[in-house]
């Protein structure tokens, strides 16, 4: 762990803020969206540096640091992103992610725009079939505010007005533009595993005491079939249930100011100490270091 942290710290980029009028306008509008905290996007805050191991990203994502820096590792490659840069994760995957607060303010703040399935499907319908890609997840991309300036301004305007339908329409345009810029992975046919389907199900009610029979009934399959398919994916129902709850807990810690005890209760842990132990084993960091409190 110490060796890894030392090598990552060496990648710290120089402080950067948007310096062009257009960039400043986009940046200011995004900061306003974060301050207002609309429900249709993810606003991440933290006051301590942390490294999360094997974090599940369940869909494509645009992540935009506003204060501090973000580093991610996809495979063996580390990449660093400063304010004014956009991290493009074109499709679902596991990555290592490090959020580092700004040295001056002591805060890490970022906004995340999920590339939701509805928008991806709509964008795919507007692109010739032969350009859809062959299901490859696509590499992590780096996009500038200039690349998506007008689209981000339109998205911010729709979000400020509470018009999620229009915001999704704008997102379709973002996807088409990213695809045209060479980020073909954003429109690749997603591979939805059984484990991913179960994770989505658990996330809708993470505090429920899920049993195998509950999952079987929801999916309409026998226990033997469920176990066989999960084994083929290299996992088990117990592992998926634990991971789904911890993933939901991580999202709460990153996007709210709930104390660890409350987060533990919301994901079905009666014992906060058991939750802390599980979370730390899963992500390599104590939950108290992740949130914005």
Name the nearest CA neighbour of 156 among 107, 122, 116, 113.
Answer: 113
For residue range 21-71, what is the model confidence (pLDDT) as tens digits?
888 899 999 988 888 865 657 888 888 899 999 998 888 999 999 999 999
Burial 199-214 (b: 16+ CB within 10 A, else e): bebbeeebeeebeeee
CB 255 within 8 A of CB 216: no
Q: What mean pLDDT do residues 223-250 have?
A: 95
Model confidence at 143: pLDDT above 90: yes
Show me where the domains of the chain are located.
Answer: 2-187, 194-289
pLDDT at residue 220, rounded to an integer: 95
What residue spans of the chain are helical by DSSP H? 2-9, 21-36, 117-124, 149-160, 164-180, 194-203, 212-219, 223-232, 237-255, 260-266, 272-283
Q: How far apart are CA 90 and CA 206, in angstroms?
A: 26
Q: What mean pLDDT do residues 12-27 have?
A: 67
pLDDT at residue 7, rounded to an integer: 30
Name the nearest CA neighbour of 89 among 123, 114, 52.
Answer: 114
| DSSP character string of 246-288 | HHHHHHHHHH----HHHHHHHTT-S-HHHHHHHHHHHHSS-GG
CATH of the structural domain 2-187, one choice from 3.20.20.70, 3.30.360.10, 2.60.120.810, 3.20.20.120? 2.60.120.810
For residue range 160-218, what is the model confidence (pLDDT) as tens digits?
898 989 999 999 999 999 999 999 899 987 777 899 899 999 999 999 999 999 999 99
- In this structure, which topology does domain 194-289 adopt according to CATH? Arc Repressor Mutant, subunit A (1.10.10)
For residue range 96-128, what is the model confidence (pLDDT) as tens digits?
999 999 998 899 999 999 998 899 999 999 998
pLDDT at residue 222, rounded to an integer: 96
Model confidence at 133: pLDDT above 70: no
210: left (phi over 0), alpha (psi -120 to 50) or beta: beta
Name the nearest CA neighbour of 242 among 192, 278, 273.
Answer: 278
Three-state DSSP at 155 gives: helix
Model confidence at 289: pLDDT above 70: yes
Q: How far apart are CA 44 and CA 293, in angstroms?
A: 12
**pTM reported for the whole predicted model:** 0.85
pLDDT at residue 85, rounded to an integer: 92
Model confidence at 11: pLDDT above 50: no
Confidence of residue 9 (pLDDT cuts 50, 70, 90): very low
pLDDT at residue 38, rounded to an integer: 57
Residue 125: CB atoms within 10 A of its CB come to 11
């Amino acid at each position: 762990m110490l060796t890894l942290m030392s090598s990552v710290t060496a990648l710290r980029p120089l402080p950067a803020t948007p310096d062009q009028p257009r960039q400043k306008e986009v940046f200011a509008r995004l900061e306003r969206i974060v301050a207002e905290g609309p429900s249709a996007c993810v606003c991440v805050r933290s006051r301590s540096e942390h490294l999360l191991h094997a974090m599940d990203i369940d869909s494509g994502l645009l992540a935009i640091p506003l204060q501090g820096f973000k580093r991610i590792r996809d495979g063996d490659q580390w990449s660093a992103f400063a304010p004014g840069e956009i991290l493009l994760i074109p499709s679902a995957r596991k990555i290592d992610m490090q959020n580092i607060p700004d040295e001056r303010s002591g805060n890490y703040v970022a906004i995340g725009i999920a590339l939701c399935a509805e928008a991806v499907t709509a964008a795919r319908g507007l692109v010739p079939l032969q350009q859809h890609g062959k299901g490859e997840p696509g590499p992590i991309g780096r996009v500038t505010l200039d690349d998506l300036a007008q689209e981000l301004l339109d998205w911010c305007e729709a979000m400020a007005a509470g018009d999620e339908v229009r915001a999704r329409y704008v997102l379709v345009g973002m996807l088409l533009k990213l695809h045209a810029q060479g980020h073909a992975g954003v429109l690749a046919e997603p591979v939805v595993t059984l484990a991913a389907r179960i994770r989505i199900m658990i996330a809708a009610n993470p505090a429920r005491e899920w049993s195998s029979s509950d999952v079987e009934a929801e999916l309409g399959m026998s226990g033997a079939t469920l176990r066989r398919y999960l084994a083929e994916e290299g996992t088990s129902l117990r592992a998926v249930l634990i991971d789904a709850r911890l993933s939901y807990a991580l999202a709460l810690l990153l996007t709210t100011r709930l104390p660890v005890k409350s987060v533990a209760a919301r994901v079905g842990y009666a014992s906060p100490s058991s939750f802390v132990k599980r979370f730390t084993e899963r992500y390599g960091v104590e939950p108290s270091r992740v949130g914005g409190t």
